[in-house]
Amino acid sequence: SYVLTQPPSVSVAPGKTATITCGGNHIGTKSVHWYQQKPGQAPVLVVHDDSDRPSGIPERFSGSNSGNTATLTIRRVEAGDEADYYCQVWDTSIDPGAVFGTGTKVTVL
Distance CA 104, CA 84 (A): 5
Per-residue binding letters, 58-97, with another protein (x by CB under 8 A):
----------------------------x-xxx-x--xxx
User: Which of residues 29 and 107 has its CB atom nearest to another protein in the complex?
Assistant: 29
Q: By the 8 A CB rule, do 20 and 107 touch?
A: no
Residue from 49, 67, 80, 107 in contact with another protein (CB under 8 A)? 49
The strands making up 69-74's β-sheet, listed across from edge to edge, are 18-23, 69-74, 61-66
Q: Please, which of residues 6-45 interact with another protein by CB under 8 A? A: 29-31, 33, 35, 42-45
